[in-house]
Amino acid sequence: MLLTYDDIPLSGGPALVSAPGFIEQGFQFSLNMVAIDLSTVSGAGTGFAALNDYNGPITITEANGSAFSFTNTMMKGWNTQTTGGTITGYMNGQPIGSMDFAVLGPDAGGGRPIAYWSMISPDFSYVTSIVINGTAPLLLTSTQVGPAVSEPATAVLLAIGLLAAMWFNRRVVWP
């Protein structure tokens, strides 16, 4: 499922933004996040994005609390030259993996008035939350999420257990 942030009610001016802590297609975003129509912001580009304009870590969960997969997102800085940080996937509060990133932002007064989007691909297949810690405000768009995918090791262990149970329950027939 692709989160594009274009179906969230927006208001305000001059920039059109959502209320903080919005829900997009069943995914809850932390209270420091708003959806924004970039075409209403001078020099920001076009389309829609999620913005952590209130700073702090970005948290994404499924609104019903279930596990999900977080494949990738397009990201760039907001009102900063460059920014970096870490994306961490959690399963019930326990970290399962993380990925460092660095993205460009607009170069205020320089030769890059509009930053290009960078694809960030942590590819977490079974998480209950994603936390993005950046060194400056970030924009997200085209975020790829989906249903949780079991780890291959879990399936292998299950298969081994079933084979062992079948072996122990076999009946030997003597003529």
Residues 95-115 pLDDT 10s: 999 999 999 887 655 555 667
Residue 60 vs residue 110, higher pLDDT: 60
CATH number of 2-150: 2.60.120
Residue 152 vs residue 149, higher pLDDT: 149
Model confidence at 157, pLDDT cuts 50, 70, 90, reads low
pLDDT, position 136: 86
Lowest mean pLDDT: which of 26-35, 45-54, 127-136, 150-159?
A: 150-159
pLDDT, position 100: 97
Do the beta carbons of residue 70 and residue 60 sit within 8 Å? yes
DSSP H/E element including 134? strand 129-134
Model confidence at 53, pLDDT cuts 50, 70, 90, reads confident
pLDDT, position 4: 92
pLDDT, position 163: 76
Residue 23 pLDDT > 60: yes
At 163, give phi and psi (nearest 5°): -65, -40
Question: What's the average model confidence in pLDDT over 60-67?
Answer: 95
Residues present in the chain in total: 175
The token pair that represents 172 in the structure block: 């030997």
pLDDT, position 38: 84
Residue 3 pLDDT > 90: yes
Question: What's the average model confidence in pLDDT over 110-136?
Answer: 86
List, in sequence order, every residue forming a beta bridge with 61; answer none if it has no partner. 28, 129
